[in-house]
Amino acid sequence: MKILVAETAGFCWGVRRALDQAVDLAKKTDGPVLTFGPLIHNAQVLEELTEQNIHAVEHLADIQGGTVLVRAHGVRPEVFEHLRARGADVYDATCPLVRKVQKIISKYGNDGYDVVIVGDDHHAEVVGLRGYTPTRCFVVADEKEAENLPSFDRVCVVAQTTQNDDTFARTVEVIKQKARVIRATNTICEPTRDHQQETIELARRVDLMVVVGGRHSANTCRLAALAAQHGARVLHVETDAELRASDFEGCATVGVTAGASTPEWMINRVVDTIESFNREPVSRVQTWLKHMLSVLVASNVYVGLGAASLTLATSLLLHPTLTRATLFPLMSAAGLFILAMHTVNRYQERSHYSGWGTFSPRAFQRFQQLMLGVAIAALAVALWIAAALGYGQFLGLACFGVLGALYGVKLVPLRWARYCLGIRRIKDLPASRDIATALGWTVATGVVPLVTVGTPTAPHAMAVLSFIFLLVFLRSALIGVRDVQGDKIMGMETLFKVVGKRRTKEVLVTAVALLTALLFALALSGASLAAFLLLVVPYICGVSWLYHQRLLPKGAVGEILVDGQFLLVGALAFLWHLVR
């Protein structure tokens, strides 16, 4: 069974903008953040927001001061006045594209035009739009309802931003017959248009279309209706728990799309579940191998092995003639330290794991107490080895161990948060995860070996440390691209959230170019191992391409391929060490 996932599936930028604004407010506000109406039509995301003290209220009577965020759908203009009259600090997260429709209605309404909105009469966006005109305002769902409209001298026609192009065009044609002057503006937003078009194209190619999203989400329901209209059998689900293997019997190709209120992790879980229904014969060896790979990833043993492998390479780059007696403790300290810090970080984020849908967090939940104990033991042994190597080595690991433990801890009191731009934890800093991860690895796999064995020149040392930082930064940023849809909701900050998708790709390309240049420079300076390590560059490019093409396997296999760059670096260093 082949699974095709729509590239446009999931959050639109207007929804993401409102969610980010709510989370940012919660960081720097005393007390809860209230949203006037549900911020998003997705029960699972609302649960995550509630954990961060962000709550939806439906009625003005429920608001007595505090911080109130107007959601992306917008509200009638008098609502702002009522909210302020009740003592609330009001923040506006109305989608700019919805605000554009409000301005069009207001302009033409003030010029004496009647207004017709093509949309769903009781939808929150439409309810808000109706308040922006002083003249008559009508709402019609389609051309059939438009037949019942009265005649107009002058009329302005707009669309709910999540409407359908064909429906809007047909409705305008009917209204033209009833109006002396008509000003029709197609205000359907571009993300909606792209989403609907891709859903239609996908529906024509598949046996079954799975639409993921809330049943109360108008745009999600419209996607399901469009898919059905174009010949696909449609299955509309809110979560992966609703899927049954029997639904996919006889299906050769399945399409997956999702509404603008559906996060990426929910889409991934649905895809994972559908893939599990592929009943291909699997041997015991394959089952055992898959299980072992899963354990390696979930326990962070694999990432620890990656750190040890990277340490082997960097140590030999710093000092080519090192013996096993020196290499082994350096590799052990780095591997155990990185294993411990990754596990501690996951433990701190355990309350949010239910949403991610990636393999490691779900597996981690089952054994979180055991894993925390293993992490503490690993950290203790790593520090003991570092102390045996020297005072500086111990101090370096200990300092970053403390910073790692404090990564998710609220260090700034809430009353001071507004003076710190809402930054209360290290993780609240822009791109903190990518930078902190790269720095931690650089200390464990580069600085500790550098302090232990030294290096011929300072430029050589800086080149090696920069190589480590870029290699780990690339890995972390790449994973951030995968997890972006949940970043701020899940309390994670990545490069993607700071600069966006296009610029993230530009940064990654630049980082690969710099990494390549550093290895060439090291090779030209006499470090022949650097020439061997250039083979890791095409590997990184290949994995990045698979990620962006949605071809990288999910779960443990995918994570093994991503972190495989570290084992490849170690293997190349080991081969060089044998043949030199």
Catalogue the active-site residues. Answer: 125
Residues 6 or more apart whose CB falls under 8 angstroms from that of 545 comprise: none
- Which candidate, 197, 162, 198, places its Cα nearest to that of 15? 162
Q: Residue 427 has what DSSP assignment? A: G
* Angle between helices 359-366 and 368-389 in degrees, nearest 10: 100
Contacts of 370 (CB under 8 A, 6+ apart): none
What does the alpha-carbon distance between residue 168 and residue 185 come to, in Å, rounded to a whole number?
10
Per the DSSP assignment, residues forming a β-bridge with 181 are 154
d(C-alpha 442, C-alpha 463), whole Å: 12
Q: DSSP secondary-structure letter at 553? A: P
- Tell me the residue ranges of DSSP E strands in 170-307: 179-184, 208-212, 233-237, 253-258
A 10 A CB-CB count for 100 gives: 15
- By residue count, the chain amounts to 580
Contact (Cβ atoms closer than 8 angstroms) between residue 452 and residue 330: yes
CB of 155 within 8 A of CB of 112? no
Question: What kind and span of H or E run contains 503?
Answer: helix 495-524
Q: At what angle do helices 458-483 and 555-579 cross, to 10 degrees?
A: 160
The Cα–Cα gap between 473 and 544 comes to 13
> Are β-strands 2-5 and 253-258 bridged in parallel, bridged antiparallel, or unpaired?
parallel
User: 3-class SS at 121?
Assistant: coil
Q: Which residues pair with 156 in a beta bridge?
A: 115, 183
